[in-house]
Amino acid sequence: MGFTADCLLLFGATGDLAQRMLLPSLCALDADGLVDEHLRIVGTARQDLDDAGYRAFARKALETYLPDYRKPAIEPFLERLHYQPLDANNAMGFADLAAKVGTVERGLAIFLSTAPSLFEPTIAGLVASGLAGEQTRIGLEKPLGTDLATSRHINDAVSSAFPEDRIFRIDHYLGKETVQNLLALRFANVMFEPLWNAAHIDHVQITVAETVGLEGRVGFYDGAGALRDMVQNHMLQLLALVAMEPPASFDATAVRDEKVKVLRSLRKVERDETVTGQYRAGAIGGAAVPGYDQELGRDSDTETFVAIKAHVDNWRWKGVPFYLRTGKRLYERVTEIVVQFRPVPHSIFAGRGARTQPNQLVIGIQPAENITLSLMAKEPGLDRGGIRLREVSLDISMPDAFAGPKKRIAYERLLLDLIEGDQTLFVRRDEVEAQWEWIDAIRQTWDDHAITPKTYTAGSWGPSAAIALAERDGVTWHE
């Protein structure tokens, strides 16, 4: 794991991510005694503030986004905060930033949350000012490019100053408790892994559904779309965790080696295995909402919905489809993984008039964190010459099962690992490039066949073609 940093440098320290996620996460870590008492946090952004001004800014953000029980921790936490204004395009400003950071005896951790256009001048400024030495590691917030070529360009710029073992590429889904629990479910329980293959699993569904629209992300989203925004990173990471082979150990190299094998095994998606959509005006929660073009203020062919039938071509998963679905302005907000098992090979109850249903494992990631396993059981009571079976669920609600631990923001885990140097829950460069290769091929298929988004009404589950994508295989989306 290497050194534990005694200074954390936050680029983009006045941005939306810092206000909603980073500052609350760091305050929670401080309140729970999970960071060293000597850790200093230096924020930097274009906004012209001094230490006192930034602490006032941070106090307002924390009072807004921290839960009430955390608020007594705000004032002690603010003492850790310092600030230095910086225009990343002004190379001279990095000398003042280095002076503000000061001597870092045990090491420096940098969290870089800026526009991609600022990556190169920022890296150059860090090098020139001496802030990219051997005791520095850097965390990179997405987006890391818009395709394979631009991703390589960014990664080349970063790797010119930092070796791979000091680069922490962030996918905040990997910091979510239930996503990490997927590894525990598979590899800490003997009953699942022997069945976790094509012989016993019929298909897998991964859904990331949002009810929100653009929410102030117009500049980024219209140039990205659902495929780049959600599938390329979050959904492919979830797929990799579901499909990976058991790693030799729970460490960064072993886990990421197995994930990249899955990503490299993804089959090219054919024309009839993908559906794109864009929402039109409708209603969410009983309230009228505008269509995408109305929110954007102009016509656009950007997709706000994607459904894909994917295949992992290896021994474990040959012939098992992975159905991926994500979109904005859908019926409800939910992120879940559904593992559909095959039917029993022979039902001994058929002659008694009882029907069995295949087992199903549902892993809820948000908003509810839960794990549900459906089983067949006999209904209580007596029947002449027969038996009645009914599907019942074994439910594990994470908040109920672990009532003591506080609910964590995903960034708490990731920031702590960045400070301490554990790369297990961060994305390696070869993973990123394998993801982009697959995504670029899908976009090329769209271009080759002039595929444009189908419309769907806000508040629905997406275009009807997405339903047909699954149902022609006899599969129904889990809703």
Which residues have CB under 8 Å from 91's CB, separation 6+? 121, 124, 125, 128
Task: Clarify whether 234 is annotated catalytic.
Answer: yes
Phi/psi for 275 (5° steps) reads -135, 135
Residues 111, 113, 118, 120, CA torsion sign: positive
**Torsion over CA: 105, 107, 111, 114 (sign):** positive
Q: What Cα–Cα distance (Å) separates residue 336 from each residue in 165, 462, 478?
A: 31, 16, 9
d(CA 46, CA 11): 10
Is residue 244 a contact partner of residue 261, using CB atoms and an 8 Å limit?
A: yes
* DSSP-assigned letter for residue 116: G
Percent helix, strand, coil in the chain, to 5, is 40, 20, 40
**CA gap 142, 114 in Å, rounded:** 9
DSSP states along 335-385: EEEEEEEPPPSS-TTGGGT------EEEEEEESS-EEEEEEEEEPSS--TT
Contact present, 440 and 148 (Cβ < 8 Å) = yes
d(CA 43, CA 17): 13
Please tell me the distance from the alpha carbon of residue 23 to that of residue 26, in angstroms, as a whole number. Answer: 5
What three-state secondary structure class fits 292?
A: helix
Q: Rounded to 5 degrees, what angle do the CA atoms 422, 116, 236 make?
A: 55
Beta partners for residue 134, in sequence order: none
Q: What is the DSSP annotation of 94-113?
A: HHHHHHHH---SS-EEEEE-
Residue 361 phi/psi, 5-degree rounding, is: -110, 125
Q: Which of 234, 311, 346, 478 is catalytic?
A: 234
Helix axes 410-420 and 23-31, enclosed angle (nearest 10): 70
Name which of 310, 268, 285 is nearest 437 in CA terms.
268
Task: In whole angstroms, give the CA distance from residue 283 to residue 443.
Answer: 30
SS3 207: strand
Q: Which amino acids are annotated catalytic?
A: 234
